[in-house]
Amino acid sequence: MRSTFAEINLSSLIHNYINIRKKVKNRKVMAVVKADAYGHGAVEAVKTYESLGSSSPEWYGVALTEEGIELRKAKVTKKPILTFSPFQYDELDEYRRYNITPSLSAFEQLEQIKLKKLKNVLKVHVNIDSGMGRMGVRFDEAVKFFSALTAIKNIEVIGIYTHFATSDERDKRFAKLQLQRFNSVLALLKEAAFSYGIVHAANSGAILDLEDAYFDMVRPGISLYGYYPSLQTKGTIKLKPVMSLISKVSEIREIKKGESVSYGRKFIAKENITTAAVPIGYADGVNRNLTNKIHGIIRNKKFEQIGRVTMDRIIFNVTNSKVQVGDKIILFGENKLSIDAWTWSSILKTIPYEITCNISKRVPRIFIK
Ligand SMILES: Cc1ncc(COP(=O)(O)O)c(C=O)c1O
């Protein structure tokens, strides 16, 4: 096996999940496990939740029907799975065969269903766009949508939801406007006697900071994996990062003053130095723009990464240390010296979501408890 791996701490995953559950009290939880549980391994994450028995999540949320199928094939059969991607008629057989709940989100989908018809009842959630502007039925067309929907045979709405664009920002004005729009949709539907089932809206940002958005169920994603969605959300839940990225020193070399390291000669030694090569690169998810900007922890000490990040290998300056071939190196992870996905995401002007999702398939996930 490769000496590079992502260590997934399942105890931390449970810790985060339990703390989120406590925060939302008696609400149901849909654990969002799309994108292979944000790079952590969806099957293993779901199995870990399921081991909690009666306090396990009531629902799982995925972005793609295929992601739901993967869970079903791994014998996750007891819980409902919602796919957030817009309903596609050509996926109908898969929704049924694998018991995956699709999201209805546009009038065209109703037209298609009307044309091709449904032989048996299809249970769906309706996605309402209250301001995200990405997908979902516009909030001001929701009643019209439900009127059209109820005229079609065999569709049963078992849930309704919306998604926030800014719940992770300190300024909650837009999130509150979305909430107000969604609430008025619910009121109008109620008034018109349309049934819509379970109501859900809150992603991690809203779970942390917007209790009015909890409704019947919440949908945490990034917080399950140990990160706040932004640095602006209040620290109202204790979270532990679940993923650590680990490798081993594969080679030690001496570089003389004036010599360069790696492609493009982006590092020139100002003195004689000792370097350590580590077998991880941008093909594993170490973005090339991290070149000369990150550190690795070896023997409880931080060492600078030097020279261009290459596809399979990066180099560290380990001058005047006892670092040896075979030493463990922590690139990020929960550690006394604290390098986490925020450290990388701040450099890359992105968010921890992208860092963990981008740890590629060729990095084995090692699950620890
Ligand atoms: C529809 C939906 N709900 C919930 C989530 C979870 O969001 P977060 O990871 O910010 O908690 C996502 C992720 O983007 C989503 O697309």
Give the span between the Cα atoms of 54 and 325, in whole angstroms.
47
Distance 54 CA to ligand 1 centre (A): 24
pLDDT at 236: 87
Pocket test for ligand 1, best of 23, 219, 232 (most atoms within 8 A of CB): 219
- Report pLDDT for 233: 87
Amino acid (1-letter code) at residue 339:
I
Q: Is 26 exposed, middle or buried (0-12, 13-18, 19+ CB in 10 A)?
A: exposed
Query: Is the confidence at residue 336, as pLDDT, over 80?
Result: no
Which pLDDT does position 1 carry in this prediction? 80
Sketch the domain layout of the chain as residue ranges: 10-225, 243-368
Q: How confident is the model at residue 262 (pLDDT cuts 50, 70, 90)?
A: very high
Residue pLDDT, tens place only, 85-133:
999 999 999 999 999 999 999 999 999 999 988 999 999 999 999 999 9
Atom of ligand 1 nearest to the CA of 222: 9
335 pLDDT higher than 80: no
203 lines ligand 1 (CB under 6 A): yes
pLDDT of 334 over the 80 cut: no
Active site residue 22: no
Nearest-Å Rg of the Cα atoms of the chain is 24
Q: Which CATH superfamily is domain 243-368 in?
A: Lyase, Ornithine Decarboxylase; Chain A, domain 1 (2.40.37.10)
Tokens of 355: 């860092």
From the CA of 34, give the closest atom in ligand 1. Answer: 13
Structure tokens at 93: 């057989």
Query: Ligand 1 pocket: which of 127, 203, 232 to mutate (most atoms <8 Å of CB)?
Result: 203
In this model, does residue 308 exceed pLDDT 80? yes
SS3 of residue 82 by DSSP? strand
With a CB cutoff of 8 Å and minimum separation 6, the contacts of 66 are: none
Please name the residue ranges forming H helices in 75-198. 92-97, 107-116, 142-150, 173-191
Q: How far apart are CA 212 and CA 201, in angstroms?
A: 10
Q: What is the mean pLDDT of residues 214-222?
A: 98
Residue whose CA is closest, atom 8 of ligand 1?
221
| pLDDT at residue 235, rounded to an integer | 81
Predicted confidence band of residue 298 (pLDDT cuts 50, 70, 90): very high
Of the residues 34, 49, 225, 353, which is catalytic? 34
How far from 243 is each of 40, 226, 271, 287, 317, CA to CA, in Å?
7, 8, 36, 17, 25
Do 243-368 and 10-225 fall under one CATH topology?
Answer: no
Mark whether 263 is an active-site residue: yes
Q: Average the pLDDT over each of 68-77, 233-242, 260-269 and give the range with the smallest value.
A: 233-242
Q: Are strands 251-255 and 273-278 parallel, antiparallel or unpaired?
A: antiparallel
DSSP assignment letter at 345 = H
3-state secondary structure 250-273: CEEEEECCCCEECHHHCEECCCCE
Q: Report residue 209's pLDDT band, with 50, 70 and 90 as the boundaries.
A: very high
Query: Burial, 366: exposed, middle or buried (Cβ in 10 Å; 0-12, 13-18, 19+)?
Result: middle
User: Which atom of ligand 1 lies nearest, measured to the CA of 229?
Assistant: 10
Q: Which CATH number fits domain 10-225: 3.20.20.10, 3.90.1570.10, 3.40.50.300, 3.40.50.12280?
A: 3.20.20.10
Which residue's structure tokens are 């981008």? Answer: 358
Helix (H, G, I), strand (E, B) or coil at 102: strand
